[in-house]
């Protein structure tokens, strides 16, 4: 392909290129590995979002046999790049307004570019547990001996299973699963969303935890509380006790998963830059461990195993 300029990628197996056309530019997404998810499903989810008047990249062209799709170019202005101490609240409120709109999506089925129906799967408890176990499979495996790893894993899996059993909200909400300021783009004064291929139908607190307790952008505890309260005000019918309970559990599970994934990216893919985000992931876990007595067993296990003090 001519006129392709390689642009920064993400944690996936995809490669991204900007294509210069006569009157516009586009993004070419290549994916040999996991191409069903990264090409076909990605476009299917984008179609659902656009159908619900949520800005997501439109498909211009597909060549599934040659492992690529060509999509709308949203430019380079992520919300992450725009944030400063004076506009943080403004942009986070805009992001949560968008999240509330996304969570109203009811249609789960769309015709993909292969003219077959794609139905968004459920984000069930088995998936949540499997994702949290990435912490053991990669991070613990890297830092512990086999005997210590096996002993830790048995206790960890029992605790995680118990935590998941305490989730209270229904599993009936569109969940982006990577809803944070680096995946939100400013496009002609609107916010567009990218990286949606992992979307599932699950717990409404998950995306809220993703953006408030995001490892990529540090915010104070008081700011996090303000954003949480703004979301509650936007959703007056929600049970705040259930929301807070699930928010805390899912935040901890998500950041344990992230520590595992970032370790995997370094070991398997040589993407060592993700390791620098792990200390803040630990800090976020510590923040939530102290807000709910459900975490007492997990806190005890992590304190004993890592000589950390989650006070």
**136 falls within a domain:** yes
Higher pLDDT pick, 136 / 308 = 136
Residue 247 belongs to a domain: yes
Residue 30 lies in a domain: no
| CA separation, residue 274 to residues 195, 200, 214 (Å) | 17, 25, 13
Residue 165 is part of which domain span?
77-306
Whether 66 maps to a domain, the answer reads no
Mean pLDDT of 245-259: 98
Work out the pLDDT band at 174, boundaries 50, 70, 90. very high
Q: What is the pLDDT of residue 23?
A: 83
pLDDT at 311 over 60: no
Q: 3-state class of 5 per DSSP?
A: strand
Q: Which residues contact 94 (CB under 8 A, 6 or more apart)?
A: 191
Residue 97 lies in a domain: yes
Q: Confirm whether 48 is domain-assigned.
A: no
Answer whether residue 62 is part of any domain: no
pTM of the entire structure? 0.94
| CATH code for the domain of 107 | 3.90.1200.10
Question: Taking the CA of residue 21 as centre, how many other CA atoms within 13 Å lie in the half-sphere pointing to its CB?
Answer: 11
Give me the pLDDT at residue 21, please. 80
Structural domain count of the chain: 1
19-48 pLDDT tens trace: 988 888 999 999 998 999 999 999 999 999
Q: Is residue 176 part of a domain?
A: yes
Which own/partner pairs from 261-269 qualify as long-range (CB within 8 Å, at least 24 positions apart)?
261/11, 261/134, 261/138, 263/138, 263/139, 263/142, 264/134, 264/137, 264/138, 265/11, 267/138, 267/142
């Amino acid at each position: 392909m001519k006129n392709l300029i390689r642009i920064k990628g993400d944690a996936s197996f995809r490669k991204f290129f900007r294509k210069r056309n006569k009157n516009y530019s586009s993004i070419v997404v290549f994916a040999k590995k996991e191409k069903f998810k990264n090409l076909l499903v990605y476009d299917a989810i984008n179609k659902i979002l656009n159908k619900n008047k949520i800005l997501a990249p439109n498909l211009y062209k597909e060549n599934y046999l040659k492992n690529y799709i060509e999509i709308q170019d949203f430019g380079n202005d992520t919300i992450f790049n725009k944030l400063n101490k004076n506009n943080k609240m403004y942009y986070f409120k805009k992001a949560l307004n968008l999240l509330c709109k996304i969570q109203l999506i009811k249609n789960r089925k769309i015709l993909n570019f292969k003219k077959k129906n794609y139905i968004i799967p459920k984000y069930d408890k088995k998936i949540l547990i499997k994702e949290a176990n990435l912490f053991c499979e990669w991070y613990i495996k890297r830092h512990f001996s086999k005997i210590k790893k096996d002993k830790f894993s048995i206790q960890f899996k029992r605790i995680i299973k118990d935590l998941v059993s305490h989730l209270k909200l229904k599993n009936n909400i569109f969940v982006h699963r990577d809803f944070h300021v680096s995946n939100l783009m400013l496009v002609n004064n609107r916010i567009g969303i990218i990286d949606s291929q992992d979307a599932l139908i699950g717990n409404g607190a998950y995306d809220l935890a993703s953006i408030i307790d995001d490892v990529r952008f540090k915010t104070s505890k008081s700011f996090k509380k303000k954003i949480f309260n703004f979301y509650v005000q936007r959703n007056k019918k929600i049970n705040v006790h259930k929301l807070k309970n699930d928010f805390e559990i899912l935040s901890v599970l998500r950041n344990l998963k992230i520590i595992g994934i970032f370790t995997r990216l370094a070991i398997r893919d040589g993407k060592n830059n993700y390791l620098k985000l792990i200390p803040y992931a630990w800090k976020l876990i510590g923040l939530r461990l102290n807000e709910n007595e459900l975490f007492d067993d997990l806190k005890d296990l992590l304190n004993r195993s890592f000589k950390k003090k989650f006070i």
